[in-house]
Amino acid sequence: MDGRTSTMMEAARAWRPSPPTLILLGLIAYLWVRPPAEVSDENRIAPPWHVALTEVRVLTSEAREGRVVLVDFRATGCPYCRKEKPVIERFWPDHRDPGFEVVSISVDDLADRIAACTTRVSVS
């Protein structure tokens, strides 16, 4: 071993992380390996619901009766939502004929922000 390698190894052995550093590293490790959101195995009909659309219409569960509806809650700034959207867009065309529908509900309060996002990305 040359002098430089042994110096680096000695520095690595001498490094003692502070408690806040250990907590931060533990938090990063937890968030990295934690399981995804839980999915329920329940097979029951959802309670009635209604959603106000940006076009001043109301979408109700009664209007979707008899169909399988994926209710997708999203936000315009959510990175997980942006990753999930292309997967849903690929899945939906193959399953829409038998009665499968996707209803995406934005949790953003501003209608102009929602409209800007839907024009920036393709929405079916």
pLDDT digits (tens, 9 = 90+) for 49-94: 887 776 677 888 888 888 888 888 887 778 888 888 888 888 888 8
Give the pLDDT of residue 23.
Answer: 92
Whether 60 contacts 48, CB under 8 Å: yes
What is the radius of gyration, based on Cα positions, of the chain?
24
CA count, 13 A, side-chain hemisphere, 99: 6
Beta-bridge mates of residue 60: 50
pTM (2 d.p.)? 0.49
In the predicted structure, residue 44 carries a pLDDT above the cut 80: no
In the predicted structure, residue 7 carries a pLDDT above the cut 90: no
Tens digits of per-residue pLDDT, 103-114? Answer: 888 777 566 665
